[in-house]
Structure 1
Amino acid sequence: MLDRIVVRGARQHNLKNIDLDIPHGQLTVITGVSGSGKSTLAFDTLYAEGQRRYIESLSTYTKQFLERIARPDVDEVSGINPSIAIQQKNTARSARSTVGTTTEIYDYLRLLFARVGRTYCPNCGIPVVKQSADEVIDHMVDAHEGERFYIVATISTEDRKPSELLAELQKEGYSRILHNGDVMRIDPPPRGLRLKGRSLNLVLDRLTIENSRRARLLEAIESAYNLADGFVRFASPDSNITLDFTHHLVCTSCKKSFEEPRPLLFSFNTPYGACSHCRGFGNRMEFDERLIVPDPSRSIRGQAVEPWASEKFEYYYNRLIRFCRQSRIPLDKPFRALDPKHKAAILEGNDAFFGVIPFLEELREKSYKKYARFYTRRYLTFRECRQCKGGRLRQEAYYVRLSGQSIREVARMTPGEALAFVESLELAPREEEIAEDIVLELRSRLKFLLDVGLYYVTLDRLTRTLSGGEAQRINLANSLGANLLGVLYVLDEPSIGLHPRDTENLVKVLSELRNRGNTVVVVEHDLDIIQKADYLVDLGPGAGENGGEVLYQGALEEASSPRSKTIKYLREGLPLEDSKPMPSRCEGEIRLSGITEHNLKNIDVSFPLGVFSAVTGVSGSGKSTLVSDVLYNALTVGEANYTHAYKGIKGRDKVKKTMLVDQSPIGKTPRSNPITYIKAFSFIRDIFASQRLAVKRGYASGRFSFNVPGGRCNRCQGMGYERVEMHFMADMFIPCSECEGKRYGKETLEVTFRGKNLADVLELSVNEAIELFADHRALAQRLTTLKKVGLGYLRLGQPSTTLSGGESQRIKIARELAENIEGGCFYILDEPTTGLHVDDVATLLRVLRELVDRGNTVVVVEHNPQVIRQADHIIDLGPGGGDDGGWVTAEGTPAEIARSPRSHTGAFLKKLMRKSAKGAA
């Protein structure tokens, strides 16, 4: 086996026939400007080839269940290991998947509770224990040594006559029963015996309790367990003392029986363990008063009850008004001011009135009717299940406890809290032996979550609610837990979403993966992580067609390349500009008060209008909750439908439009591309439709669309390629045999503009297209917005499915630059620097500043020091993550934040400012 991965002649996407060597057993960081080919090299070449070769080594039967990967465009790859990709994508969609189940921590908790958990009676609150024969003897010797007892088996007589049962017992050698406190012989059978209830008490032995008689006691107790279905009774002939024992789980006080805990009992993904009310989801769709009465300032006569406010339901509204008159419920009083019992009568009904919610419930049952489904859906919302209280499990699962905690309570803990719980368990020696391996796995996996910076995420958090960066770090923690050796790990910007405070722990995790004998390849822009690399590969010098070259490969300390921007910043530090005072043009603010969503602690926050604001804080402090959830919904959904997250809002009338510019794809199919999204393709089609040949043939603008029949290729329907299914091999996508990948029919492509047909134009980069269409001002202006946001390297016809999240986000910003001229808009961006090189961040900041200069407001959630330093206003949350966060620790300009003793961001800014001052000196 080679001591390195050897790549020769890599040409995938924009790679320029590159050669490179990556050493095994080291941490290699691939850097370069955005679009330079980093992900292409790491994922589409190294990972793809490692995974492809591993899959090819498997049987044909196994291959059909695995992802099929095409061979990358490369001459040779040797010395490569089986590969695992850990990307910044959250593919979880199920409402059943949680952090605990994804990391297998919850599975080990299920085992722990099933093996050593103690069942408690819900009626009596006492532990329910099953007693072995030895434990019964120990108890009797300790409490009743020297006393005489009958050992009795209570046998049911429900299925047979007492006389028949007595005869059968006599044949087996038993001779006495205990009846009304007296011992009676059954040989001969007693005459006129009348049994109370449906059982008889068979005497197995009579003896004085002594430790020396353990063998005799053991034999009698085990016989009783066999005869009496797991029960034994000790009855004293000298007093009224009767003691019952069982090896079943039965409460000794109220006699309530319990089933034996097993792992399935604690699984909400199986019908056996799931709550029957919510089917294991923890919540249910229920009718919401806030949606039924969206404007509580209205009266009954003013149609406060929306479901019946339309003409279609006039009959029901008239009945409601008649009921209110009969019940003396005020018709002209605001709904919010009505007596609670009157509200309950209207919504839930009573003997005199059927109620709005029962009416909707009845209509909901007619879900086979389309209108009923859509009509009732608008008044439904998810509510915590009343039966399981959001815990997802059947009630019996909560009877089992460990150190006073049920599994529901442990699942609601953060990794740190759960680790403290596991470490503090007090178990008996036998229980310790049973739980040893389980506890070891739990400790290991919980520590991994802490190491990757997810100390604030609770174990019951839905996986689909995690950001891409959080999902990636979950997968990283799983990789550590898998203890694999000799594997190639490929990671895509694992620092995404991490505060600089947490970066050091991430480096330790990557080093741990490496130290186990794995090869770790990381695509990264964070200079702190790059500086910890063993080996550096820098691509560039530009993006797209201007990238794809290896500018440097080798040890970090020897890094040198005059064309490398990355190495320049490693040597000289970040290009940090001095903070600026709040612009004088700032007019007004959006003020939210009493915010309590998720971990936010009833805080009041103001967002100045017409400026560039940054919301900062450590991971999990509540930044995305404040901005993406509360602020965005408050400005778009409206107060009537979202008042549960905050108490009040001021200044909303000063905002014309609110837009959340996230990193979701701009389109779901390959037909969508950058120029269709920014609405530039219509200009191009108009230009081609105006050419002499097109006019002569009568071609309209629609002729040049590949989304509708007419000018597109009929064989591939404008896709440009055909899919060939290869069954157990990767499907092949070959150029369409009719249009040769050009998407259009032959006649359409005969129309040219300056020597280029439409297929040629779609292959142009944005920069090339700006030159070609320089005389067409409207089109050139729209294309220039793509260049402004640093996307001049993109091909015009590049499918949106091939774009990164950062590229998609910047395309959305470009469209706003092209269309929003008047200002007055409120833009919200969550970590817009994701996937951006230091040089590209500077470009993005210029664009955001241009939006602000046009009279718009920009609010970003960010960790990047370049962005934070240039913000006009900063809102810092913290001081910690999860329950330790949710407070406003500091607010003001960067300089003011740097002076705050409570702010982790402030401490980091202060350090940067000192470096900047030393550099200037």
Structure 2
Amino acid sequence: MSIDTARPRPAATDEIVVEGARTHNLRGIDVRIPRNRITVFTGVSGSGKSSLVFDTVAAESRRQLNDTYDSFVRNRLGRPGRPDADRIDNLSVAVVLDQRRLSGNARSTVGTATDIAPLVRLLFSRIGEPSAGLSHVFSFNDPRGMCPECQGLGTVDRVDAAALIDPDLSLDEGAIRFPTFAPGTWRWKRYVHSGLFDRAKPVREYTSAERDLLLYAEGVRPPDPDPEFPRTGTFEGVVPRLTRSYLTSESPGPSARDRAALDRVVSSGPCPECGGARLNRTVLDCRIGPHNIAEWCAMPAVELAGVVGGTDAERVRPLAEALVERLGYLDRVGLGYLSLDRASGTLSGGEAQRVRMVRHMGGSLTGLTYVFDEPSTGLHPADVHRLTDLMRRLRDKGNTVLVVEHDPDVIALADHVVDMGPGAGRDGGRVVYEGSVRGLLHADTPTGRYLRGPRAVRGRVRAPRGSIGIRGARLHNLRGVDVSVPTGVLTVVTGVAGSGKSSLVGGELLRVRPDAVAVTQGAVGGGSRSTPATFLGVLDTVRGLFARRNGVAASWFSANSRGACPTCRGRGVIITDLAFLDDVETVCEDCRGTRFNDRALSYTLGDRTIAEVLGMTAVEAAGFLGEPGVEDALGRLVRVGLPYLALGQSLDTLSGGERQRLKLARELAAPASVYVLDEPTAGLHGGDVDRLLALFDHMVDAGTSLVVVEHHLDVVAYADHVIDLGPGAGTHGGRVVFEGAPARMARSGTGATAEALRRYLEEV
């Protein structure tokens, strides 16, 4: 770990002063954060880093900024609460760059999210031939530019007639396989009373004309309908009726029942009119050199920068240079492999955070406080230097940079370090070290011990029991990959971001082994009301214990039922919808965030209310409740590295890595033969990774095959087998550059991962 030379400590007037901070698990701490410097906040997961940085410093900055607006704007912004602290001084405007995923809106792309797309459109409007018009015409979100068939979405939903109709049944027997067309429904009556069909005849016996009429007719007036058919009604085939009712932009959202039925009978694919390009033919015919705008946007950013730099039209030189600069920003934050047409909803939390960074890199504002949440998540060790270079530039422009981070290379960047701990939850919330990085290396804290700990590769690897063969894999950027994934061992698939790891493991391996359990960082479902207790299935037991102890119904101990606070309806927060801005959440003043009403809180179990029990960590609750089933579930939570999670914590607040480990905790109740994990160390302190590796050992020794997509070098070094993809990202990746034991990779491997592993082993 190469350490930045620490700058002289600033005067007290140049420090952010926090005194008596008690937000969440903070223990009334005092801290001085130097302004115009890079301060990295470290500590084990759950130690209070985010509570101090995001929920205290950044939250107070935003609250005071909101107070500068007039009353109309303040009312629209809501009334965020004041962080629980005695004093917070010398703040500047905070720009928070966290790991919230970008909008899943189908019309949001990397190009639109970074504001690069407008520059591309402007360039095509100036020098594209033949001209298609002004810049807005080149937008798939503008009616004048979008494809008329798919309305600018690039995909169309089509009804699969074969899945919709059972040819062996008649209309009376339910030949139309969709709930709203079932026998007896009002839609079904339109078909059987139209007089156009023999309602008792199997559809297989229909003539081709009758079948086309049943499926595709539009605006047909039946010549001899039954009396039950509307006098002025017209007949519409099943496919257009279903399309108009459920698939058009004007149709309301389907119910859960209909959604499941739609998934069975509707398929989505590229638009046949534009081929997925989203734009109309006039726009696609406009080109700069050999490429149209859709082809530009489909290129990786690093490749597109070269194409744009090659344009020789002098009159757009400043515009082309600005575009190349913006594309370079994407590459600088390790996202050069992304294309501008990549849907923003498909980005990971780490990718989304770095995309947000791009919007600020060309700005001229100074004196701001930039707040980052583990920005190295998802980055290969070889790419971390690009991130640290960005932070240095922000600092050197006169900004304050606050970073919550576990990565040693990012910690080494710091001018100042605040180490939180010593443990998680109630065992944390204190400042255990404050000072330089060099001092942290000698500190007797979990972070200090981890940073100076020994580095070694696994000496004796396990022998595989078999293998999973993948041949000729060409998904996305894979280049006809042939690889054998050993079973009965811990296999780590690594490589730079965009090299094809997810395509190989999440795509091809799962296709070959559909029985494998993929545990990803995606949403766990249930929304803000879902908690670890509900996800692991222990909340019903907890409610039952309270109900029996107090002689009342269990529903009193549900925030979704009789026990709910009437003001916030059991949410614990009041959510203010700001339309195009982010929603604002404020703690409910009536229940003080507990989510329960006064009567529910009047009942206790061993002198604890239901809210207090749900506020316990996994370790605390297991000991307090003493139920075998609950102890087993919460024990699994501890084993996956989440001992600090509160039973009642909203799953919406978890990071991607925490969500994945929570899913793993549930899966371990009935272990599978093959598990696929996607960067399970995301959000884990280095000291906590050892616990996760111990769990991996336990799983493999019990007969499980583990395939882990991971960048963390502790995990790579601990593997039995490593598959390294690369050598680069996007079109420069998609190949296997190494297969074998980590010791051999460190000794003779080539490529970015091998070099990073050798540097890792040299650090002490």
Which TM-score tier does this pair reach, normalised by the shorter chain? 0.7 to 0.9
2:276 is aligned with 1:390: yes
2:497 is aligned with 1:624: no
- State the partner residue of 1:614: 492
- The one-letter code sitting in structure 1 at the alignment partner of 2:419 is D
- State the partner residue of 1:679: 537
Contact 1:551 1:561 in 2 (8 A): no
CA distance in structure 2 between the aligned counterparts of 1:362 and 1:451, rounded to whole angstroms? 54
2:749 is aligned with 1:890: no
CA distance in structure 1 between the aligned counterparts of 2:601 and 2:585, rounded to whole angstroms? 30
- State the partner residue of 2:198: none
2:405 is aligned with 1:524: yes
- The one-letter code sitting in structure 2 at the alignment partner of 1:39 is S
- The one-letter code sitting in structure 2 at the alignment partner of 1:308 is D
- State the partner residue of 2:339: 458
- State the partner residue of 1:104: 115
State the structure with more CA Rg: 1
Contact 2:455 2:760 in 1 (8 A): no
CA distance in structure 2 between the aligned counterparts of 1:310 and 1:3, rounded to whole angstroms? 80
Classify 1:708/1:602 alpha carbon distance in 2 versus 1 (closer, same or farther; 3 Å). Answer: same
- State the partner residue of 2:618: 766
2:515 is aligned with 1:662: no
CA distance in structure 1 between the aligned counterparts of 2:756 and 2:142, rounded to whole angstroms? 48
- State the partner residue of 2:156: 284
* Within-5 A mapping of 1:362-761: 362-367=237-242, 378-427=264-313, 432=314, 434-559=315-440, 562-570=443-451, 572-573=452-453, 576=456, 578-583=458-463, 586-632=464-510, 634=511, 649=512, 655=515, 658-665=517-524, 667-670=526-529, 672-691=530-549, 694=550, 697=551, 699=552, 704-709=557-562, 712=563, 715=566, 719=570, 721=572, 723=574, 732-734=586-588, 736=590, 741=594, 743=596, 746=599, 749-750=602-603, 752-753=605-606, 755-761=607-613
Shift of 1:554: 2.2
Shift of 1:833: 0.7
Shift of 1:749: 4.4
C-alpha distance after superposition, 1:769-799 (max 9, x if no partner)? 333344x433323222222233333333333
- State the partner residue of 1:810: 661
Aligned-partner SS, 2:86:
strand
TM-score normalised to the size of structure 2? 0.82
Where does structure 1 lack aligned partners over 5 or more consecutive residues? 120-258, 293-304, 318-345, 635-648
Shift of 1:716: 5.7
Shift of 1:487: 0.9
Where does structure 2 lack aligned partners over 5 or more consecutive residues? 1-11, 176-203, 219-235, 247-256
TM-score normalised to the size of structure 1? 0.69
CA distance in structure 2 between the aligned counterparts of 1:412 and 1:881, rounded to whole angstroms? 15
2:749 is aligned with 1:904: no
- State the partner residue of 1:85: 96
Shift of 1:77: 1.7
CA distance in structure 1 between the aligned counterparts of 2:559 and 2:359, rounded to whole angstroms? 44
Shift of 1:445: 0.6
Shift of 1:715: 4.2
Classify 1:576/1:312 alpha carbon distance in 2 versus 1 (closer, same or farther; 3 Å). Answer: farther
CA distance in structure 1 between the aligned counterparts of 2:641 and 2:442, rounded to whole angstroms? 23
- The one-letter code sitting in structure 1 at the alignment partner of 2:364 is N
Q: Percent identity?
A: 37
CA distance in structure 2 between the aligned counterparts of 1:574 and 1:663, rounded to whole angstroms? 33
CA distance in structure 2 between the aligned counterparts of 1:517 and 1:527, rounded to whole angstroms? 24
* Within-5 A mapping of 1:845-864: 845-864=693-712
- Alignment length, in residue pairs? 693
* Within-5 A mapping of 1:249-264: 261-264=133-136
- The one-letter code sitting in structure 1 at the alignment partner of 2:289 is S
C-alpha distance after superposition, 1:810-863 (max 9, x if no partner)? 22222233x22xx44332221111111001111112223222233222221100
2:138 is aligned with 1:266: yes
Shift of 1:735: 5.0
CA distance in structure 1 between the aligned counterparts of 2:151 and 2:164, rounded to whole angstroms? 30
Contact 1:879 1:902 in 2 (8 A): no
Whose RCO is larger (CA < 8 A, sep 6+)?
2
2:27 is aligned with 1:27: no
CA distance in structure 2 between the aligned counterparts of 1:904 and 1:67, rounded to whole angstroms? 48
CA distance in structure 2 between the aligned counterparts of 1:402 and 1:64, rounded to whole angstroms? 48
CA distance in structure 2 between the aligned counterparts of 1:662 and 1:411, rounded to whole angstroms? 27
Shift of 1:681: 2.7
CA distance in structure 1 between the aligned counterparts of 2:166 and 2:42, rounded to whole angstroms? 61
Classify 1:373/1:825 alpha carbon distance in 2 versus 1 (closer, same or farther; 3 Å). Answer: closer
CA distance in structure 2 between the aligned counterparts of 1:31 and 1:402, rounded to whole angstroms? 49
Shift of 1:706: 4.3
CA distance in structure 1 between the aligned counterparts of 2:571 and 2:146, rounded to whole angstroms? 49
CA distance in structure 2 between the aligned counterparts of 1:520 and 1:118, rounded to whole angstroms? 45
- State the partner residue of 2:178: none
CA distance in structure 2 between the aligned counterparts of 1:793 and 1:102, rounded to whole angstroms? 34
Contact 2:77 2:576 in 1 (8 A): no
Q: Choose the corresponding residue for 1:72, options 74, 83, 90.
A: 83
- The one-letter code sitting in structure 2 at the alignment partner of 1:879 is P
Contact 1:735 1:741 in 2 (8 A): no
Shift of 1:405: 2.6
Q: Choose the corresponding residue for 2:68, options 57, 60, 65.
A: 57
Aligned-partner SS, 1:505:
helix
- The one-letter code sitting in structure 1 at the alignment partner of 2:80 is I
- State the partner residue of 2:649: 798
CA distance in structure 2 between the aligned counterparts of 1:859 and 1:726, rounded to whole angstroms? 42
Aligned-partner SS, 1:378:
helix
Contact 2:20 2:30 in 1 (8 A): yes
- The one-letter code sitting in structure 1 at the alignment partner of 2:710 is E
- The one-letter code sitting in structure 1 at the alignment partner of 2:499 is S
Classify 1:785/1:533 alpha carbon distance in 2 versus 1 (closer, same or farther; 3 Å). Answer: same
- The one-letter code sitting in structure 1 at the alignment partner of 2:20 is G
C-alpha distance after superposition, 1:341-372 (max 9, x if no partner)? xxxxx9xx999985999699942210266799
User: Which segment drifts farther, 58-67 or 415-424?
Assistant: 58-67
User: Which segment drifts farther, 47-56 or 554-563?
Assistant: 554-563
Contact 1:722 1:736 in 2 (8 A): no
Shift of 1:68: 5.4
